[in-house]
Structure formats: structure tokens, C-alpha cells
Structure 1
Amino acid sequence: MDQPDLGLVDGLAQLSFLVQGELARVAAGHDLSVIQLRLLGILRDRTPGMRDLARHLELDKSSTTGLVTRAERRGLVRRDPSPHDGRGVLVSLTPAGRALAAEGEAEVGRRLLALAAGLTEPQRSRLAQLASLVVATAGQVG
């Protein structure tokens, strides 16, 4: 079936809204905000310091500290002294945080794949390639 061409700007914006909506639904289902879900996602494969974590989340230091404190109270993350910086701390997932991150990752994956269910396999592959290219080159702009 023929669909109207939204154009690049509207197409990307509408796709972003769909993805953000799915992320919000997954987060809400686990009593998390989207930024808390992102925190768990970032910590799946790294143990950053607070400065790096703030950079990944695109938050200022005080907002990142508050976010980590709330996640720590829920038993999802822990802070450990940095072996390289006597004043620094490293943030990592607790076993409960790791389990929730894995569950969230699986649920997000299912929901995002469902968004592309109407595409053929070659179309899904091409979309993945193009999305990867946009992400890879986005940091080079501006």
C-alpha cells in the first residue's frame, strides 16, 4: 500500500516520537522515567565515572547525581571509589539493576521490532544501515 512521503524532517521526527513513546511505555511499566531507563541502558556494558555518565546522558553534574542517588535508593546502582581518582566514583549496576536492565532491553527490543513489522527483511536491513549511518555521522555535524 502506498504511504504518503513525510519527507526527511517529518519522517525522522515522527519516527522519533514513535520510538520515544515505546521507551516511555517500557519505562512506566517498571516505574521508571525514560532517563532512568537510559541510565540502566548505559550501565549495561560500562562502569563510568560521574562526569562520563553525565556526558552520556547529556545532563549536568547535579542532575546526574540526583538520578544516580534515586537509582541507588531503589537498589539498582551502586557507587564505588575510583581506583584512578581519589575523589571520583564509578557507577555500576547492582544484580537487581542488571536484571531490570536486561528485562527492559528485551522489552524495548520487542516493541521497536514491532514498529518495523510491516517492512520486508531487505527494508529492515536497509533501515538499520541508514540509522547506523545517521548515528555514526551525527557527532561530526556542527
Structure 2
Amino acid sequence: MSQEPATDYVDGVVDVLTQVHTPAELEAKALAYRLRRIAHRLETDVKRELAPHGIELWALELLACLLRAPEHRLTASQLATAMQLTSGAVTNRVAKLEVKGWVVRDFTPHDRRSVTVALTPEGAERAYDVFAVKTEAELNLFASLSAEDQHRLNGYLRTVLLALGDRET
């Protein structure tokens, strides 16, 4: 006896759309819906786990960008690109972290119009203190997939991102 596969919320959405979309369109829509729902769930779970530690996800991501950077510093423009934000959003976020003492801003020596953002030792310490919380939430979200399936899914998603021009800088 074969058992019917379990269905999720997206299956119900796709069922309603079968009369107006081709099978290829339905598959693309289902994938897009599932990716958005998983991304939303991941962000919600991580934010919930970080809240008791007094840090927001955006702040941890900005600190992590600086940790990965040479000499732990980037221009505001480089941060905007890395975090996929507008320059105004970066300015706002950096200002909030500067007040906490986690980053400092300085003018680029060769171009006074360009601002460099550097991680402080306090900012690095704060990030390292809570990285494990974020990692645990990520592990929990994908626990239903084997290591092999996670690796395969990562490969598929990398292929899509590369096709969209998302390259390492």
C-alpha cells in the first residue's frame, strides 16, 4: 500500500492555480512560494532566538560582514552591496551600532566623501557571543533534511544565484 505524500500550504495554493498556469509556471510558482515561506520562517526563528541576547538579526549580519572583511572594515558602499541595502539604510544601521560602540565611522583618507565603517573589539566580541544562537536556529530549521540533501539543495540554489549574477566580490 502506497501512502499519499503529505501536502503543505503551497500545494493548496498551486491546486487553485492549475487552470490558469502551465505545469512549468506552476512548478516555478511553487518553488518561489516555498522559498519565501522558508526564508520568512528562518528570519522569524533567528530573530526570536536573538531577542533575549539583545541583538537584532540585521545588526548581527552587519557585524558579520565586517568580521569577514580585510582589517574588519568596509566602505559604506561595500556594506550596502554586501547586505543588499540602500545607502540610507546602511547609514541608519551603522549609526545605531556606533551608539552601542560596536562600530566606528571614519572618512576614507584618500576620499573625504567616502565613509569607512570599522568593527570595534566590542562589536566583534558581541557578534562572537551570539553566533552560536543563530547557527542553532539554522540547524533546527533544516534538520528535516539529511546532510546530503542540504548539500544538494545548496548546489541548486547556488546555480540559481550565479545565473542571477550573484557573485562573490
Query: Shorter-chain-normalised TM-score: which range?
Result: 0.7 to 0.9
Task: Report the count of equivalent residues.
Answer: 140
- Equivalent residues in 2 for 1:28-47, closer than 5 Å: 28-46=51-69, 47=73
Please state if 1:3 is matched with 2:10: no
When the two chains are superposed, the root-mean-square deviation of aligned CA atoms in Å is 2.4
Structure 2 gap segments, 5+ residues each: 11-29
CA distance in 2, matches of 1:119, 1:107: 20
Give the structure, 1 or 2, with the largest relative contact order (CA under 8 Å, sep 6 or more).
1
CA distance in 1, matches of 2:92, 2:32: 34
Please state if 1:110 is matched with 2:110: no
Helix, strand or coil at the partner of 2:32: helix
CA distance in 1, matches of 2:135, 2:96: 25
Which residue is equivalent to 1:75?
A: 101
* Percent identity of equivalent pairs: 29
- Higher mean displacement: 40-49 or 51-60: 51-60
Q: Deviations over 1:40-81 (max 9, x none)?
A: 122121221122223333333333222111101101111233
Please state if 1:12 is matched with 2:35: yes
TM-score by length of 2: 0.69
Q: Relative to structure 1, is the Cα distance of residues 106 and 138 closer, same or farther in structure 2, using a 3 angstrom cutoff?
A: farther
Helix, strand or coil at the partner of 1:91: strand
Q: Relative to structure 1, is the Cα distance of residues 82 and 26 closer, same or farther in structure 2, using a 3 angstrom cutoff?
A: farther
Structure 1 gap segments, 5+ residues each: none
